[in-house]
Amino acid sequence: MFLSRKAQKYLIAFSFLIIPLILLGIFTYYPIVRGIVLSFADYNMLRRTTKWVGFENYKYLFNYKYFYIALGNSFKYLIVVPFIQFFSILLAVLVNQKIPGIKFFRTLFYIPVITGAVIVSIAWRWIYDVDGLLNFMLLNLGIIKEPILWLSDKRIALFSAMFVTFWRGLGYYMVIYLAGLQNIPSELYEAAMIDGANKKQIFWKITIPLLRPTMLLCFLLSTLSALKVFEEVYLLTQGGAQTTTLLYEMYDLAFNRYQFGRSAALSVIFSGILIVFALLNFKFFGYRGEKS
């Protein structure tokens, strides 16, 4: 019995989806389900035994001091989001000019994005060192009288890591905003200038509203990246000076203390936090149905 043309199209389409769906099931959906199940158990890696403990892992976390420190630090890390978005938009506007050599400057701003995290961290640890470049410059300029412990002082260590995140992400979001700017029709700017609008009015009345879909993407990615920060904390401070974050604490519980059930419980809580912040981004920056 021959299949209809419509059925053949569906069969061909689903045949292309089979392998990606299998890979998603193995490497995405199964680990998610396995992680949720593991969060209610105590897994012993050496004996390879799993003991069902119910909500004990969650109770432990809510009575665990470092959970609240990590939670607070992860929320503090969100401070970097508005700054990185503001300066990324500003940079995108500046490099969106048709002047000689502008591509070279775009490349310079993007280099930190493609530089390996280990290389970046080694460089910044040298800069932040007691005898490093930053203290050397500040001492010679007379701004400070004694070296600052950038990575071991509890008051500033987290903010030092934040600045590295800011520095690394600036070029990445600049490129996304630059693509959004170049998709805005130039006729709109020309019409606004003919009507007598100045640059400030053009920026707030044309550029920002039309960048809203791009802003949603960038704020969403930046918020989730700030909450999921790990590399900077792991490579710069190793969680010391009270710089631990939720993702670092998750790693520490699993691979340093071998408490996989508690780490899985923390990952479930962390996933819920990510979902909440993703929905908030859609709430504030998503399309609300305004008439153009």
Note the pLDDT tens digit of each residue in 152-200: 888 999 999 999 999 988 989 999 999 998 888 888 888 888 888 888 8
Mean pLDDT, all residues of the chain: 87
The per-residue pLDDT for range 199-234, each reduced to its tens digit, is: 888 888 888 888 888 988 899 999 999 999 998 899
Other CB atoms within a 10 A radius of the CB of residue 197 amount to 16
Q: Say if residue 74 is in the same domain as residue 112.
A: yes
Q: Say if residue 50 is in the same domain as residue 105.
A: no
Q: Say if residue 37 is in the same domain as residue 21.
A: yes
The per-residue pLDDT for range 237-286, each reduced to its tens digit, is: 888 888 999 999 999 999 888 899 999 999 999 999 999 998 988 887 76
The CATH number of whichever domain residue 195 belongs to comes to 1.10.3720.10
Strand boundaries in the chain, DSSP class E:
41-44, 49-52
Q: What angle do CA 194, 200, 203 make, to 5 degrees?
A: 85
* Residue 291 maps to a domain: no
Please tell me what DSSP assigns to residue 152. T
Per the structure, the complete domain to which residue 36 belongs is given by: 5-57
Percentage of the chain lying above the pLDDT 90 cut: 38
Please tell me what DSSP assigns to residue 4. P
Q: Say if residue 24 is in the same domain as residue 141.
A: no
Q: Say if residue 115 is in the same domain as residue 158.
A: yes
* Residue 292 maps to a domain: no
Task: Give the model's pLDDT for residue 290.
Answer: 47
Are 200 and 112 in contact, with CB atoms under 8 Å apart?
no
Which amino acid, residue 233? V
Q: Say if residue 44 is in the same domain as residue 157.
A: no
Residue 258, φ and ψ in degrees, nearest 5: 60, 35
* Residue 111 maps to a domain: yes
Question: pTM of the full predicted structure?
Answer: 0.82
Q: Say if residue 210 is in the same domain as residue 244.
A: yes
Q: Say if residue 48 is in the same domain as residue 66.
A: no
Percentage of the chain lying above the pLDDT 70 cut: 97
Q: What angle do CA 267, 270, 271 make, to 5 degrees?
A: 85
- Tell me the pLDDT band of 100, cut-offs 50, 70 and 90: confident
Task: Give the model's pLDDT for residue 10.
Answer: 82
* Residue 290 maps to a domain: no
* Residue 187 maps to a domain: yes
Q: Say if residue 201 is in the same domain as residue 172.
A: yes
Give the whole-angstrom CA distance, residue 160 versus residue 104.
Answer: 28
Q: Say if residue 35 is in the same domain as residue 130.
A: no
Q: Say if residue 255 is in the same domain as residue 142.
A: yes
* Residue 10 maps to a domain: yes
Are 239 and 231 in contact, with CB atoms under 8 Å apart?
no
Task: Give the model's pLDDT for residue 187.
Answer: 87
* Residue 122 maps to a domain: yes
Give the whole-angstrom CA distance, residue 54 versus residue 73.
Answer: 28
Number of domains present in the structure of the chain: 2
Q: Say if residue 227 is in the same domain as residue 101.
A: yes
Asked which of 57, 80, 97 is the last residue of a domain, the reply is: 57
What mean pLDDT do residues 40-56 have? 86
